[in-house]
Structures are given as structure tokens and as C-alpha cells.
């Protein structure tokens, strides 16, 4: 692994609720290397989105260290581009306007904003849709704008929170291929949250499996599949083997949840 870009050590987080304390994360350790693509998978409610929110600086932590390039993070910042599961495109701005919005906030010169915005939209295959409003775009296109927006201001790393979770299967596949293509060409440090094991294995260099709540990293699986990756990869035995390994690891967790549920019912 290359020099770690993102380091997470002993990260813990507990939510205080009316019904007592709910531990969400209990001692998460994870490193993401420079220009490495790491996917974080886990059952729903395991705290993986909480982890991403903390790395994004949008939520506080109770214990531990999160650092990018050895600088501990304390607040949200332009060094981390975030793609949310809900597309979060501002509906009153066009596709180009949404990208330009981020560029302007990042202090890009007004003369360059338009050019870069168009470049970024072309990168995700949306040339010709610059002047379309979010309501005129499909779910997949909206998320492409969101990716273009997060990439536009050149963050040091990209945080993606189940970005394709709300898309239909076919569109999801297109988006995975698109993301792989962009990533293979432009290389960037990515932390990608998903509950789709196939997606995680297809996209990543390493897949980190999270335990049930309270979440910690249970296992990290290195995905030593060749690049460039194309969709035919999915049917190869190597892919199947890795897919199986990650799936088994997660299934152990979901079986635990089911057993716990039955125990509580009794």
C-alpha cells in the first residue's frame, strides 16, 4: 500500500438518545492509501454512514483520530469532496450552475468557473445537459452532476456515501463503469460506502467489512484484480472468489443480527 492519505485510529462515537446511549462506532481503525480506492461495506445500521460523516467533518467524534496527510480533521473542508446518497443538487441551478456553485465557493476565478464546470460535466458524459435543471435529469444523471461537482474543485480525497444506492440496477451498473473509468484515468483517494458487495469488489483496491453496531473494521479484503476493469470481470472466477469472501464475512454479521432479533422476541 502507498503512503496512507487518510488515517483513522480508535474512532468511537456514541449517540445520546432519550432511550439511553447508542454506541455507533467502537474503535474503528482504517487507512486509505494515496490514490487508493477503498470501499466500506456492512449491514444497514452498522455505522458506516456515521463514519463517513465524521471523516467529512459533518459529525463530531467521541474518541480517536482522523487525519488526512497527518493533519487531524476537525471540520468540513474543501480538501474532501463529498457525494451524498441524496443527490443534493440545488434545484434552482442548472447542471452547470451546480458545478459552478462549488467552484465559486472554492474560490475559483470567475473567468475560469464556466470552462472548468463544462469540462467536469463532459468528464461524466453530460455534455449537452449543461443547461438542464435537476428536475429534468434522471437519477443517474443527477448523481453524475454531483460527482462532477465534488471532483471540480480538486479535493485531496473523495468521500462517497452510497452514491448509487437509490438508482435502478441498470443505471447503477452504468455508473459503476463510469466511476471506474474516471478513477482509472484520474486516480484519486476514495472512500466509498456501500452495502452492495458486488459494487464494492468491482470498484475497489481494498474492501473493508464493518461489524454490526457498534461498528469496527472486522476484516479488510485486498482486491487484487487487474485494471482496467470492465464489466466482463464480474463473471471471472477470481471476481467470484473475492465476492464470496466479502459476502461470507458480511453474512456472518447479518446472521448474528437475525439471531439477536429472535433472542429478543423470546
Partner 1 sequence: MPPPPEPTAGGRPSRPRPDRRRLRAFGAPISTAEFVGVAAAVFAGLAFAWTAATALGWVAPLFLPSPMRVILRFNDLAASGKLVDDTTVSVYRITVGFLISTLFALPIGILIGCYRNWEAAIEPLVDFIRYMPVVAFVPLTILWTGTGDIQKFLIIWIGTFFQQVLLFMDNVKSVPRDFVNLGRTLEMSETRILIRIVLPSAMPAIWDSMRISLGWAWTWLVVAELVAATSGIGYRITTAQRFFQTDTIFAYLLLLGALGLTTDQAMKLAHRRLFRYLRAR
Which residues here bind partner 1, judged by CB under 8 A? 56-58, 75-78, 80-82, 84, 86, 88, 90-92, 101-102, 105-106, 133-136, 153
Closer by beta carbon to partner 1, 14 or else 88 = 88
Closer by beta carbon to partner 1, 152 or else 212 = 152
Closer by beta carbon to partner 1, 138 or else 256 = 138
- Contact of 78 with 155, CB cutoff 8 Å: yes
CB of 61 to partner 1, least distance (A): 16
> CB count, 10 Å around CB of 16?
8
Q: Supply the DSSP string of 69-124, one letter for each residue.
A: TTEEP-S--TTEEEE-SS----TTS-HHHHHHHHHHHTT--HHHHHHHHHHHHHHT
CB of 143 to partner 1, least distance (A): 13
CB of 222 to partner 1, least distance (A): 30
CB of 228 to partner 1, least distance (A): 30
Distance separating the N- and C-terminal Cα atoms of the chain:
47
CB of 193 to partner 1, least distance (A): 14
Closer by beta carbon to partner 1, 102 or else 179 = 102
Location of C-alpha cell 484519486: 188
Closer by beta carbon to partner 1, 92 or else 224 = 92
What are the backbone dihedrals phi and psi of residue 5, each rounded to the nearest 5 degrees, phi first? -90, -50
Residue 110, C-alpha cell as written in the block: 470567475
Closer by beta carbon to partner 1, 10 or else 57 = 57
How far apart CA 219 and CA 182 sit, in angstroms, is: 27
Considering just the CA atoms, what is the radius of gyration of the chain in Å?
A: 19
Closer by beta carbon to partner 1, 20 or else 91 = 91
Q: Supply the DSSP string of 136-162, one letter for each residue.
A: GS-HHHHHHHHHHHHHHT--SEEEEES
Residue 34, C-alpha cell as written in the block: 494515496
CB of 171 to partner 1, least distance (A): 17
| Cis upstream peptide for 173 (omega within 30°) | no
- 132 SS3 class: coil
CB of 48 to partner 1, least distance (A): 17
Smallest CA-to-CA distance from 57 within 42, 72, 39, 37 is with: 72
CB of 114 to partner 1, least distance (A): 18
Closer by beta carbon to partner 1, 136 or else 248 = 136
Amino acid at each position: 500500500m502507498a503512503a496512507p492519505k487518510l488515517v483513522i485510529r480508535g474512532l468511537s462515537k456514541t449517540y445520546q438518545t432519550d432511550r439511553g446511549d447508542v454506541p455507533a462506532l467502537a474503535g474503528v481503525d482504517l487507512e486509505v492509501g494515496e490514490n487508493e480506492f477503498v470501499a466500506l461495506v456492512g449491514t444497514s445500521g452498522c455505522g458506516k454512514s456515521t463514519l463517513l460523516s465524521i471523516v467529512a467533518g459533518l459529525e463530531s467524534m467521541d474518541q480517536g483520530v482522523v487525519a488526512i496527510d497527518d493533519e487531524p480533521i476537525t471540520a468540513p473542508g474543501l480538501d474532501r469532496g463529498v457525494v451524498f446518497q441524496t443527490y443534493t443538487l440545488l434545484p434552482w441551478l442548472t447542471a452547470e450552475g451546480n458545478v459552478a456553485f462549488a467552484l465559486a465557493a472554492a474560490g475559483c476565478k470567475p473567468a475560469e468557473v464556466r470552462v472548468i464546470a463544462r469540462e467536469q460535466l463532459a468528464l461524466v458524459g453530460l455534455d449537452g445537459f449543461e443547461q438542464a435543471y435537476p428536475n429534468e435529469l434522471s437519477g443517474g444523471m443527477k448523481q453524475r452532476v454531483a460527482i462532477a461537482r465534488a471532483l471540480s474543485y480538486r479535493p485531496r480525497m473523495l468521500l462517497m456515501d452510497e452514491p448509487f444506492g437509490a438508482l435502478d440496477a441498470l443505471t447503477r451498473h452504468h455508473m459503476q463503469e463510469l466511476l471506474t473509468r474516471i478513477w482509472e484515468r484520474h486516480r484519486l483517494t476514495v472512500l466509498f460506502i456501500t452495502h452492495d458487495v458486488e459494487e464494492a469488489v468491482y470498484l475497489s483496491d481494498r474492501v473493508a467489512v464493518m461489524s454490526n453496531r457498534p461498528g469496527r473494521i472486522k476484516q479488510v479484503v485486498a482486491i487484487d484484480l487487474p485494471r482496467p476493469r470492465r464489466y466482463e470481470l464480474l463473471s471471472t472466477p477470481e471476481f467470484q472468489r473475492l465476492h464470496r469472501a466479502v459476502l461470507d464475512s458480511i453474512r456472518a454479521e447479518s446472521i448474528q443480527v437475525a439471531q439477536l432479533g429472535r433472542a429478543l422476541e423470546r
